[in-house]
Amino acid sequence: MSQFAKITAIEYVLPVKTLSNEDLARDFPEWNVDKIFSKTGINNRQIAGVSECASDLAFQACDKLLNAIDLDRSAIDFIILCTQSPDYFLPATACILQDRLGLSTQCGAFDFNQGCSGFIYGLGIAKGLIETGQAKNIVLVTAETYSKYIHPADKSVRTLFGDAAAATLIQAVSGGPFIDRFRYGTDGAGAKNLIVPIGGARNPGSVNTAPALYTDDSGNVRTDANLYMNGSAIFEFSMTRIPELFSSIFDEYFTLDDVDLFAFHQANKFMLDSLRRRIKLPIEKFISEFEHCGNTVSSSIPIALKESMEKGVLTTGKTVVGVGFGVGYSWAGCIIKW
């Protein structure tokens, strides 16, 4: 009998520390609380502690998931971690997680470096592993601590990003497919528009000399060791590529009428409102769950799905179109049947 990959559980965690709009308004007096919210749709972002890494959040999310399900840890045969803020250049953080979680040494584990499209990419990887018989119970983990890359005087990104981790259980079941119609896209020409310029092998920087501070045309302060985002270029990319990707998912056999909910990467209010209007999607089917946590990069879609489940919006039998997009440039979409 054929086996199909299906999402069967999601849990997520946020760090304890909160960065509120009131905190940001004190740091940037030219922006009041109402202005920050009107531009971003975000009230709070949760920020990792100084010694709290992506693996710590990932462990908490996985532990929460594994304690909530009726499945022995020895049955987990693969753990996949999507992160752009790993603990080390090597080894893979997923290997550290396998040991810390007490999973079997017969469990496969690897990291992949992807951003806001990472959850959809991870679902595609999990589907491939399960439906070719290589695994039966996969934990897909998304974990980021972008705050560690953000300069405290850079309001362009500090107002948007929050830290988080999500753990999604994907299992082999019959009667599918439950995740399908994957579509992917990449345009590396946009890599420079969302980047931490130094710190890797290409441009490692110096341990003896701090990178120079500079101020951009909008008054944001950062160094080349910090996250840089060209907001207007990211917006233009999103408005061009995402409607094209979205349209490619549909045909005469699968139409908009077949979809109950749309779960896009939870970037910010302006971006999501603009995409929803461009694609002409009904607001009542469009998930928006980022006000309490900000843009959590690869965790934004699983957090949105979990919140929708908790609120009774996403229930068994419903069909979701998931769309991720951002750093890379990278974009991906699929359908998810609950």
Beta carbons of 142 and 127 less than 8 angstroms apart: no
List b or e across 85-96, with b for residues whose CB sees 16 or more CB atoms inside 10 angstroms.
bbbeeeebbbbb
Residue 175 has, within 13 A of its CA and on its CB side, a CA count of 6
Query: What is the maximum alpha-carbon separation in the chain?
Result: 63
Catalytic residue among 82, 107, 116, 293: 116
Identity of residue 206: S
Catalytic residue among 137, 193, 226, 265: 265
Q: With 0-12 CB in 10 A as exposed, 13-18 as middle and 19+ as buried, what is 45?
A: buried
Beta carbons of 333 and 322 less than 8 angstroms apart: yes
Nearby residues of 135 by Cβ (< 8 Å), 6 or more positions away: 77, 78, 108, 126, 129, 172
Q: How far apart are CA 301 and CA 323, in angstroms?
A: 8
**DSSP 3-state of 109:** strand
> For residue 287, what are its two tokens?
């998930």
Clarify whether 334 is annotated catalytic: no
Nearby residues of 183 by Cβ (< 8 Å), 6 or more positions away: 245, 248, 249, 332, 333, 334
Clarify whether 295 is annotated catalytic: yes
Q: How far apart are CA 286 and CA 276, in angstroms?
A: 8
Cα 176–177–183 angle (5° rounding)? 170
Clarify whether 53 is annotated catalytic: no
Identity of residue 178: F
Q: CB atoms < 10 A from the CB of 15, how many?
A: 22
Question: Going edge to edge, which strands form the sheet with 261-264?
Answer: 179-186, 330-337, 319-326, 261-264
Residues catalogued as catalytic: 116, 265, 295
